[in-house]
Amino acid sequence: MSESTGSDEIDRLPVWSAQEDWCAVTIGMDVIGYKWHPVIIDRLLKHESLRFNELSREIGGAITNKVLSSSLEDLEEKDLAERTVVNDKPVEVEYSLTERGRSLAPVIESLETWAANNFQPAESKAESIVDHKG
């Protein structure tokens, strides 16, 4: 039960859908559509691996440690990210993307291009079309 992606093969993971018709877009958004998932994936694509605090700084401090930790655990469960212990005392871990996570590069790059082509920085929060709470 695997999908051929050139010379590499990635096993497909089972995802149940309550909808009558299984929709790949809906499932894809269920997997990566959480608020911080695409941002975390983007930063790990750009840096290959980051420690927790480095990743938090790369995101810009807009994410709480609790939400970052929860998001990383979710990405690990979905085989998009992996955690590697690099030091036992004190415990230090690095996060990186799995092959499945790295396969999202064209999706993230397309999203970045689309947003850059359609939006610009607002002069003030009141002017923004998005209520970005951080």
Query: Phi/psi zone of residue 63: left (φ > 0), alpha (ψ -120 to 50 degrees), beta?
Result: beta
Residue 44 CB burial class (10 angstroms; 0-12, 13-18, ≥19): buried
CATH of the domain at 74: 1.10.10.10
Judge whether 133 lies within some domain.
no
CA distance 134 to 128: 14
15 within a domain of the structure (yes/no): no
Domain housing 62:
21-113
Lowest mean pLDDT across 13-17, 26-30, 60-64, 101-105: 13-17
pLDDT tens-place string over residues 6-51? 445 668 877 766 767 778 888 888 888 888 999 999 999 999 999 9
Number of domains in the chain: 1
Determine, yes or no, domain membership for 43.
yes
Structural domain includes residue 125:
no
In a domain, 107, yes or no: yes
pLDDT tier at 72, thresholds 50, 70, 90: very high
Q: What is the pLDDT of residue 97?
A: 97
Name the pTM for this structure: 0.81
Q: What is the CA radius of gyration of the chain?
A: 17
